[in-house]
């Protein structure tokens, strides 16, 4: 069985519906993936995630390496048993977090991060201890964590870096991609089930470098292709432009993953329209904990959001969204959730997070159905 099967291509765009096959279950694409940085989607447990039909979640290699450590998790036969989650998991390589410690300094040779062609030495943000990631160690850590989908180690350059440095970093990323692949191929089933490895395209906002990176990564025998970089997801105009550059180059038969996309419902439509199958973002959960909740009737001008902290909701008997079928909207009023946030009660974070993630995941269900019926662009127009 292939890892990825395309079920239907939309006739009016590059959108496609497909299925990813893993030993922890199939994943219908396109899919939004909730982020569980430290082996938990903040405020939710695995039962909550199953109830909102999260098909796959993310975990973060950098954070889990520092605490509790990959060896401890391996002793539990990987993340699935450690956190009692039976469905698929994706881990990133830790590269984005490590290079973020460099605070955007060109060359990133600083107090917290030191890069050379072999790998990266960095200082823990938790206790100041020194650590080193190489392509080989990043793969070894991810093997021990046991995610179904893992990432090659890459260097994520800041948007404001000079082209000369971005090119050097991109070439390092390509060399590390080969080393990541070699390390992975020595043991693709560390815990007895197959893990799938994605390569990552870099090149910042330089068209020629992005195209060169797309060609280099596409030539390697990765299971999927990710599009990374500081601007991806954060700057949607740049994200769309980058996708338009690399799409003609990357193989159509492999899953495409934009890392960090999902700040608003419209962002999902933009990348799906350009043939992206997978994306993740901390925004829906992070803004939920601040009381910012999705509501379609709030309109594009408000990014389809309302702020439950506002006084107007103090005695509002309506659910967050009258069309939403999540357990929060089926059982609780805006007034109650407003009260929970006002009193800083922990239940407020959970109810808000359940709603925001359900809202995104149900929108993805609608998008998949629309693609299969060749009406994706019609659905997109409803959200303009």
Contact 259, 326 (CB under 8 A): no
The CA distance from 223 to 171, in Å, is: 21
Does residue 192 have a known ligand-binding role? Answer: no
User: Which DSSP letter does residue 263 get?
Assistant: S
Q: Has 221 been annotated as catalytic?
A: no
The CA distance from 145 to 179, in Å, is: 19
The CA distance from 342 to 348, in Å, is: 9
Does residue 355 have a known ligand-binding role? Answer: yes
Contact 150, 198 (CB under 8 A): yes
Which SS3 state, helix, strand or coil, does residue 28 take?
strand
Does residue 294 have a known ligand-binding role? Answer: no
Element (H, E) at 57: strand 57-59
The CA distance from 225 to 192, in Å, is: 24
Does residue 93 have a known ligand-binding role? Answer: yes
Q: Which residues in 247-261 are b (16+ Cβ under 10 Å) and which e?
A: bebbeeebbbbbbbb
Does residue 95 have a known ligand-binding role? Answer: yes
Catalytic residue among 10, 92, 223, 277: 92
Does residue 202 have a known ligand-binding role? Answer: yes
CB count within 10 Å of CB 238 equals 17
* Residue given tokens 């038969």 in the structure block: 253
Does residue 229 have a known ligand-binding role? Answer: yes
Catalytic residue among 140, 223, 267, 280: 280
The CA distance from 304 to 374, in Å, is: 25
Q: Has 48 been annotated as catalytic?
A: no
Does residue 281 have a known ligand-binding role? Answer: no
Residues placed in the known binding site for substrate = 92-96, 154, 202, 229
Residues placed in the known binding site for Zn(2+) = 324, 326, 329, 355
Residues placed in the known binding site = 92-96, 154, 202, 229, 324, 326, 329, 355
Q: Catalytic residue numbers?
A: 92, 280
């Amino acid at each position: 069985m292939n890892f990825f099967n395309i079920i239907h291509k939309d006739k009016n765009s590059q959108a496609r519906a497909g299925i990813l096959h893993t030993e922890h279950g199939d994943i219908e694409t396109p899919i939004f993936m909730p982020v569980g940085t430290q082996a938990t989607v903040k405020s939710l447990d695995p039962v909550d995630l199953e109830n909102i039909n999260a098909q796959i979640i993310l975990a973060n290699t950098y954070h889990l390496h520092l605490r509790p450590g990959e060896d401890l998790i391996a002793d539990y036969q990987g993340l699935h048993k450690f956190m009692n989650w039976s469905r698929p998991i994706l881990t990133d390589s830790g590269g984005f977090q490590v290079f973020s410690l460099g605070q955007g300094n060109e060359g990133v040779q600083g107090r917290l991060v030191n890069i050379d062609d072999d790998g990266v030495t960095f200082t823990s943000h938790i206790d100041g201890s020194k650590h080193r990631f190489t392509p080989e160690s990043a793969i070894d850590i991810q093997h021990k964590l046991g995610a179904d989908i893992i990432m090659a180690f890459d260097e994520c350059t800041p948007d404001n870096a000079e082209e000369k440095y971005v090119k050097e970093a991109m070439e390092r990323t390509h060399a590390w991609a080969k080393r990541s692949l070699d390390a992975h191929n020595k043991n693709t089933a560390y815990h007895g089930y197959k893990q799938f490895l994605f390569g990552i395209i870099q090149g910042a906002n330089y068209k020629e470098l992005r195209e060169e990176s797309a060609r280099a990564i596409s030539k390697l025998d990765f299971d999927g292709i990710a599009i990374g970089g500081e601007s991806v997801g954060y700057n949607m105009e740049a994200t769309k432009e980058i996708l338009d550059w690399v799409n003609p180059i990357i193989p159509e038969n492999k899953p495409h993953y934009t890392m960090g996309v999902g700040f608003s419902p419209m962002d999902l439509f933009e990348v799906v329209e350009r043939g992206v199958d997978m994306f993740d973002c901390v925004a829906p959960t992070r803004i939920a904990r601040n009381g910012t909740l999705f509501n379609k009737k709030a309109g594009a001008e408000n990014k389809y959001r309302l702020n439950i902290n506002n006084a107007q909701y103090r005695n509002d008997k309506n659910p967050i969204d009258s069309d939403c079928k999540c357990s929060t909207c089926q059982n609780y009023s805006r007034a109650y959730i407003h009260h929970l946030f006002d009193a800083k009660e922990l239940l407020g974070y959970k109810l808000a997070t359940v709603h925001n993630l359900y809202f995104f995941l149900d929108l993805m269900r609608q998008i998949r159905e629309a693609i299969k019926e060749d009406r994706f662009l019609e659905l997109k127009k409803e959200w303009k």
